[in-house]
Amino acid sequence: MRRALTVIHALGLMLVVFSVAYVIPVATALIYADGTLLLDFLLAMVWTVAAGVLMWMLTRRHKGELSIRHGYLLVVTMWTAMPVFATIPLLLVIPDLSFTDAYFETMSGMTTTGATVLTGLDTLPPAINIWRHELNWLGGLGIIVLAVAVLPLLGIGGRQLFKAETPGPMKESALTPRIADTARSLWVVYVAITLACIGALKWAGMDWLDAVCHAFSAMGLGGFSTHDASVGYFNSPLIEFVMIVFMLLAVLNFSTHFLALRAKSLRVYLHDAEAVASLVLILSSCFGIAFFLWWNDVYPEFLTALRHASFNLVSIATSSGYASVDYAQWPIFAPLWMMFLTAIAASSGSTGGGIKMMRTLVLVKQAGREFLRLLHPAVVNPMKIGGHVVPNSIVFAVLGFIFLYFMTIVTLTFVLLISGMDFISAFTAVLASVNNCGPGLGTVGPASNYQGLTDFQTWVCTFGMLVGRLEIFTVLILFTPHFWRR
Amino acid sequence: MKILILGAGQVGSTVAESLVGEANDITVVDSDGDKLRQLQERLDLRTLTGNAAHPSVLEQAGIADADMLLAVTQSDEVNLVACKLAATLYNTPTRIARIRATDYLERPEVFSADNFCVDFSICPEQILTEYIVKLIEFPEALQVQRFSQGKAALAAVRAIEGGPLVGKPLSFLRTHMPQIETRVAAIFRKDGPLIPEGNTVIEEGDEIFFIAATGNIRSVLNEMHRMDKPNKRVMIVGGGNIGRRLAKTLENDYQVKLIEHNKKSCERLAGELTNTLVLNGDGTDEKLMQQEHIDEIDVFCALTNDDENNIMSSLLAKQGGARKVIALINRSAYVDLLQGGKIDIALSPAQVTIGSLLAYVRQGDVVAVHSLRRGAAEALELVVHGDRLSSRVAGRLIGEIDLPKGATIGAIVRGDQVIMGHRDVLIEAEDHVIVFVINKAMVKKVEKLFQVSVGFF
């Protein structure tokens, strides 16, 4: 119990920091001279600060060093508590919104999933829209720092590998001052690319509000949009192209971006085995799917096919979840292949979800090792990624992670099937939630959203998003008896 | 000459042995007194026990009036420090260091006069590796040695039945391959040397040494030995310094399997090598060999530290069907015993590497020295200076030169041109002359011949 109190102490502080995020919607409300919204957001801010201060004050006797166990608990409580407070403005402004739906929406934002239960997005007040998108952006920021600086220390499912693979300043393993440095440099890169994205989208033809909102959700690979028709609303190849570029940037490891910026050289990307694999896989899939669609006469012209295939495939594969057309109508191979890419294509240390390319590489190489071992029983062939040897302990951790990942998907799919959903909808809803992608197929496809789900199904998907975002182990470890044993 | 040798290991003791025979004053320093005692029992030299990087020890060993320092201890760092001390404290004229780490070798400025003051650095493992690579590149050859930065080469080949030249006189070589310039420098038949003449008939089993431009080596080899199919699969036993370097050099052009018995070393090797199949096991384990298809291996190299293991695993490999086996053998008694039997090539590391060291020690302008036939014969590359008056070589036809019997001029490298050593070729100053000596005792005479008389200066 003492452990929980120490964590609550830290969480209180985090909430106070989080309340700073309300500044952006408050400013938006001011710009659009929306008095009631301004009050609502200020109220939400006050409540959050008050709750944070209260938690902090009440537990100040339990202030102490955070150990690794505290780390798991803190990360999970942070990712569950912040969406709770983030629902306040939504509940205040949107009438008839249940807490279940509001929490799904904010969780979807903070986990950069981008699935929504709201319709009539076009008519939502600007401040609310910007708040939803800001959650995407903050979630992305949080996950990069978490993935690069914190999770490796917890050693989850081969996470150490990602740290070992990050060259330069991230190589240190000391827990204390380096994390702050690392986090700061990543923030700078993230903010810089976001600003560039806002500028590019404005230039491509969006108004300022749309540009900011879409830049926020694109960088977080969230996929929230200010329009019910998503990016299809703009019907502009230029906007789609700009978004493809920035989604591809966001799906790469941000420490690689940092190194590339510092070295002012693109060669850095070539040395990142993950980045190369991700980009090759995504880009070749674009052409493949475009050809497939053209071949099947979905689109009469190859270039049209390429345009729609590229945007939707990049959007889904990077786990963003925008749509420009209803790709659920395409022959089933194409959308399923896109869902498959979601699971593997994102780099570690990016804002994308799923297994991550690094673990995929480990799996593929492990399979190769097994073949070699069968042919040459005496062989010694350590796994190497990017020229570095990966210790077996990490390989086991990755295998364990993959097992849990599949079990999570299977179990949650069964739960949704029990609740009465059809198979394709249940399976893709779970896949889209756990991979933090957003839209699935069937009733949760790109043309509709998660509004039609029952409360129970909504909670299952909410849980799926949280588990997927926090790399499964982090959440499930809290359910093991050993965690709570002294 | 007064020579100070630091380190009485493989390299140090072999160098000492060769140099003692050439009337030099040798002092050997090592921290291991036992090794020194063994050396002193065999050879006429002075020894000193102590740390070779300490000035007091160096002083005691007489560095103050030494002409040359050979720092060949196991440790690169000790060798570097010793050279630096010799240069700054005692002004020793020539300093040679054995450097193994590629980290140092990649940065030549480390050796400059401002830094560690190393005049020449040698890496025996590297020399040996290059030597084995040549043997694998030319499967028919017993030995390939390069001269003048690789422009000319000397190769040894065993004449076997089916070679176009076998059973024919040497003069046939010229009529058979008029476009290719080559010269047979010596023939060893049943271990005795023959001086090759135009009418010497090549017999099966002869060991033939010939010199040619490097590009022509392949065609000449085919004359003596029916064409072997090129090597593709290489198996190496022993992942030590040499095995590792060899695997690294070969792995991109050949299929390489490396057997090493130490599990930890295996893991290190597998981490370092990208295309080599690293196997954990014993080099003398015939089951492992069969499992890894020894019968399809083109070249099998036993390169562990242990002579007996190398011999045994090579014999097993040959028995198992490996096409050609090479064994690294330190004890020269074993080398003579085995070469030409079941083991195709018995390599003596000391003999292979000593040449490059000797080149620095020898007087005159000796550029390269290669030991042949386990040190019985030698091939030297010498630079000619002076003119007809001051030199006994320059400005003369080869036929006029008073070479000791048993020495032949194989070829001359002039600029980029390789000229065969026929009687009517005029030697000019600055030519590099490759001389083949069938008896090592004549080396001194040859060197003297090439020295410029005092009047030249």
Q: Residue A72 pLDDT > 90, yes or no?
A: no
Q: What is the mean pLDDT of residues B198-214?
A: 82
Residue B353 CA to residue B356 CA, distance in Å, equals 6
Residue A82 CA to residue A14 CA, distance in Å, equals 9
Supply the pLDDT for residue B183: 82
Contact B291 A380 (CB under 8 A): no
Residue range B154-199, pLDDT digits in tens: 888 887 777 777 778 877 777 777 777 888 888 888 767 777 777 8
Residue B200 CA to residue B220 CA, distance in Å, equals 17
Q: Residue A148 pLDDT > 60, yes or no?
A: yes
Nearest CA in chain B to A385: B271
Look at residues A228, A222, A231 and name the one whose alpha carbon lies nearest to residue A465.
A222
Supply the pLDDT for residue A164: 42
Q: Residue A267 pLDDT > 50, yes or no?
A: yes
Supply the pLDDT for residue A308: 93
Q: What is the mean pLDDT of residues A89-118?
A: 90
Superfamily for the B355-456 domain: Regulator of K+ conductance, C-terminal domain (3.30.70.1450)
Query: Encoding tokens for residue A112?
Result: 């950069």
Supply the pLDDT for residue A411: 96
Lowest model confidence (mean pLDDT) among A354-368, B75-89, B354-368? B354-368
DSSP letters along A405-469, please? HHHHHHHHHHHHHHTT--HHHHHHHHHHHHTT----SGGGSTTS-GGGS-HHHHHHHHHHHHHHH
Please determine whether the domains at B139-224 and B235-347 fall in the same fold group of CATH. Answer: no
B292 contacts in chain A (CB < 8 Å): 376, 378
Q: What is the mean pLDDT of residues B437-447?
A: 78
Assign A157 a pLDDT band (cuts: 50, 70, 90).
low
Assign B226 a pLDDT band (cuts: 50, 70, 90).
low
* Domain extents in chain A: 1-89
Distance in Å, alpha carbon of B277 to nearest chain A alpha carbon:
7
| Predicted-assembly ipTM surpassing the 0.85 threshold | no
Assign A141 a pLDDT band (cuts: 50, 70, 90).
confident
- Looking at per-residue confidence, does B177 or A178 come out higher? B177
Assign B456 a pLDDT band (cuts: 50, 70, 90).
very low
Tell me how far the alpha carbon of residue B242 is from its chain's centroid.
14
Q: List Cα–Cα distances, A345 to A337, A423, B26, in angstroms.
A: 11, 24, 68
Supply the pLDDT for residue A144: 79
Nearest CA in chain A to B277: A379
What's the angle, vertex CA A325, arms to CA A462 and CA A241, rounded to 5?
95
Determine the residue among A365, A372, A380 to mutate to test chain B binding: the one whose Cβ has the most chain B Cβ atoms within 10 Å.
Answer: A380
Query: Encoding tokens for residue B252?
Result: 């991109």
The shortest CB-CB distance from B281 to any of A378, A382, A387 is to A378
Supply the pLDDT for residue B19: 80
Tell me how far the alpha carbon of residue A21 is from its chain's centroid.
18
Residue B66 CA to residue B288 CA, distance in Å, equals 52
Residue range A106-134, pLDDT digits in tens: 999 999 998 888 888 888 888 999 999 99
- The mean pLDDT of chain A is 86
Assign B457 a pLDDT band (cuts: 50, 70, 90).
very low
Q: What is the mean pLDDT of residues B246-265?
A: 92
A384 contacts in chain B (CB < 8 Å): 271, 274
Q: Residue A409 pLDDT > 90, yes or no?
A: yes
Q: Which residues pair with A140 in a beta bridge?
A: none
- Looking at per-residue confidence, does B10 or A211 come out higher? A211
- Looking at per-residue confidence, does B406 or B414 come out higher? B414
Nearest CA in chain B to A376: B292
Look at residues A37, A65, A220 and name the one whose alpha carbon lies nearest to residue A141.
A220
Where does residue B7 fall: left (phi above 0), alpha (psi -120 to 50 degrees), or beta otherwise? left
CB of A346 within 8 A of CB of A373? Answer: no
What's the angle, vertex CA A162, arms to CA A159 and CA A166, rounded to 5?
155
Q: List Cα–Cα distances, A39 to A30, A43, A92, in angstroms.
A: 10, 6, 10
A390 contacts in chain B (CB < 8 Å): none
Q: Residue B99 pLDDT > 60, yes or no?
A: yes
Query: Encoding tokens for residue B21?
Result: 């025979």
Q: What is the mean pLDDT of residues B357-363?
A: 69
Q: Residue B51 pLDDT > 70, yes or no?
A: yes
CB of A249 within 8 A of CB of A347? Answer: no
Q: Residue A396 pLDDT > 70, yes or no?
A: yes
Q: What is the mean pLDDT of residues A199-204?
A: 94
The shortest CB-CB distance from B270 to any of A377, A381, A387 is to A381
Assign A408 a pLDDT band (cuts: 50, 70, 90).
very high
Contact A376 B277 (CB under 8 A): yes
- Looking at per-residue confidence, does A34 or B72 come out higher? B72
Q: Residue A284 pLDDT > 60, yes or no?
A: yes
- Looking at per-residue confidence, does B391 or B373 come out higher? B391
Q: Strand, coil or helix: what is A330?
A: coil
CATH of region B2-122: 3.40.50.720
CATH of region B235-347: 3.40.50.720
Assign B389 a pLDDT band (cuts: 50, 70, 90).
confident
Nearest CA in chain A to B285: A378
Supply the pLDDT for residue A156: 62
The shortest CB-CB distance from B270 to any of A377, A382, A387 is to A382
DSSP letters along A242-275, please? HHHHHHHHHTS-HHHHHHHHHHT-THHHHT-HHH
The shortest CB-CB distance from A379 to any of B263, B274, B279 is to B279
CB of B436 within 8 A of CB of B186? Answer: yes
Residue B146 CA to residue B156 CA, distance in Å, equals 12
- The mean pLDDT of chain B is 83
CB of A275 within 8 A of CB of A347? Answer: yes
- Looking at per-residue confidence, does B349 or A410 come out higher? A410
Assign A338 a pLDDT band (cuts: 50, 70, 90).
very high
Lowest model confidence (mean pLDDT) among A68-82, A275-289, B241-255, B386-400? B386-400
Supply the pLDDT for residue A447: 82
Nearest CA in chain A to B293: A376
Residue A239 CA to residue A248 CA, distance in Å, equals 14
Lowest model confidence (mean pLDDT) among A46-55, B135-144, B320-329? B135-144
Residue range B275-296, pLDDT digits in tens: 899 999 998 888 999 888 999 9
Supply the pLDDT for residue B454: 55
Between chain A and chain B, how many beta carbons pairs sit less than 8 Å apart?
37
Which B positions 263-302 lie with beta carbon below 8 A of chain A? 263, 266-267, 269-271, 274, 277-281, 288, 291-292
What is the residue whose two structure tokens read 């799923």? A354
Most confident of A238-247, B24-33, B48-57: A238-247
Q: Residue A448 pLDDT > 80, yes or no?
A: yes
Which A positions 366-385 lie with beta carbon below 8 A of chain B? 372, 376-382, 384
Q: What is the mean pLDDT of residues B37-64?
A: 88
CB of B108 within 8 A of CB of B45? Answer: no
Q: Domain B139-224 - what CATH class?
A: alpha beta
B259 contacts in chain A (CB < 8 Å): 378
Assign A172 a pLDDT band (cuts: 50, 70, 90).
very low
Residue B68, phi then psi, degrees to nearest 5: -150, 140
- Residues in Cβ contact with A329 at an 8 Å cutoff, skipping those fewer than 6 apart: none
CA dihedral A388, A392, A394, A395 (to 10 degrees): 100
B267 contacts in chain A (CB < 8 Å): 380, 382, 389
CB of A342 within 8 A of CB of A432? Answer: yes
Supply the pLDDT for residue A175: 32
Look at residues A407, A428, A417 and name the one whose alpha carbon lies nearest to residue A457.
A417
* Domain extents in chain B: 2-122, 139-224, 235-347, 355-456
Supply the pLDDT for residue A158: 59
Task: State percent of chain B over pLDDT 70.
Answer: 95
Assign A165 a pLDDT band (cuts: 50, 70, 90).
very low
Residue B380 CA to residue A104 CA, distance in Å, equals 85
Supply the pLDDT for residue B436: 85
Supply the pLDDT for residue B153: 85
Lowest model confidence (mean pLDDT) among A207-216, A449-458, B183-192? B183-192
Contact B291 A377 (CB under 8 A): yes
Supply the pLDDT for residue B364: 57
